[in-house]
Amino acid sequence: MEAPNGTVAPTQTGDRPDPGGYKLKFCTVCASNQNRSMEAHLQLSKAHYPVISFGTGSLVRLPGPTIQQPNVYQFNKTSYDSMFKELSEKDEDLYTRNGLLNMLNRNRGVKWGPERWQDWQVGIPRLEHASDRGSVGTEGGVADVVFTCEERCWDAVIDDLHNRGAPLNRPVHVINVDIRDNHEEASIGGRGILDLADSLNNAAKEERDAVGSATFDMATAASRATFDERVPEILGEWQERWPNLPATWTLAWF
């Protein structure tokens, strides 16, 4: 996979077989679009779901040599590859031990660099992201389900959607799965999000078959009412399987 800056990102292994058929479009969100959202992005893409990811912070912040000396980058302007190379040059031993280089190496195999949710133009084609993992199906610039990874990110997404005024009049499920921001918990959280995505997608396929593909694919409140009504029950069943990942849900609008 070639990134926009011309570098060749490493390939990922462990993809599960693509079952084909209808797939919901997903979006994953954390503070800096580095750890939790990117692990979930990767796991969803390995399962062949259309997926994009974002951060909600004002800047991308990564741990530095001390709490008072974080590594700070701008969204949309700094690639994961350049971050990887910069931190390798600064202190390869430190950033290997704390897992940052491994994380950035994973990230640069998923997409070019961190993006900010608030800068995302919903409904605008994302044709320049063709090299991102999970890009197939997201070209139209919309998602059916947004997974956030902590409450403040969920709040930021909901507030931003409210401020946008729902110009597309399109329903979107916003689900917060609370994940501690470390590498081990991000991996567990990514698996939990994938399990929930599978359950949601199975229900969506059932309702799409029932109402007809043309109707369901209109993606309006009326055309997807039967699916939307099932989401709280699906989330409740999932929560029983993943009790250590507290979840919150709301139906919002693009």
Q: How many CA atoms lie within 13 A of 220 on its CB side?
A: 6
Gap between the Cα atoms of 232 and 223, Å rounded: 18
Token pair listed for 243: 């009790």
> Is 76 within a domain?
no
The DSSP 8-state label assigned to residue 2 in this structure reads B
The CATH number linked to 168 is 3.40.50.2300
Cross-strand partners of 146: 27, 174
Q: Cβ neighbours of residue 39 under 8 Å, at least 6 residues apart?
A: 106, 186, 187, 189, 190
> Is 211 within a domain?
yes
> Is 48 within a domain?
yes
Token pair listed for 181: 């921001």
> Is 207 within a domain?
yes
> Is 45 within a domain?
yes
> Is 77 within a domain?
no
- As for how many domains the chain has, the answer is 1
**Collapsed DSSP state (helix, strand, coil) of residue 175:** strand
Gap between the Cα atoms of 76 and 127, Å rounded: 15
pLDDT at 4: 38
pLDDT at 13: 56
Q: How many CA atoms lie within 13 A of 55 on its CB side?
A: 21
pLDDT in tens, the chain (254 residues): 333 343 333 344 589 999 999 999 999 999 999 999 999 999 999 999 999 999 999 999 999 999 999 999 999 999 999 999 999 999 999 999 999 999 999 999 999 999 999 999 999 999 999 999 999 999 999 999 999 999 999 999 999 999 999 999 999 999 999 999 999 999 999 999 999 999 999 999 999 999 999 999 999 999 999 999 999 999 999 999 999 999 999 999 99
> Is 134 within a domain?
yes
> Is 221 within a domain?
yes
Gap between the Cα atoms of 200 and 247, Å rounded: 14
Residue type, position 216, single letter: F
Gap between the Cα atoms of 220 and 222, Å rounded: 5
The DSSP 8-state label assigned to residue 75 in this structure reads T
pLDDT at 14: 81
Token pair listed for 186: 């991000």
pTM over 0.85: yes
Domain enclosing residue 38, as ranges: 26-59+116-253
Token pair listed for 69: 């000396």
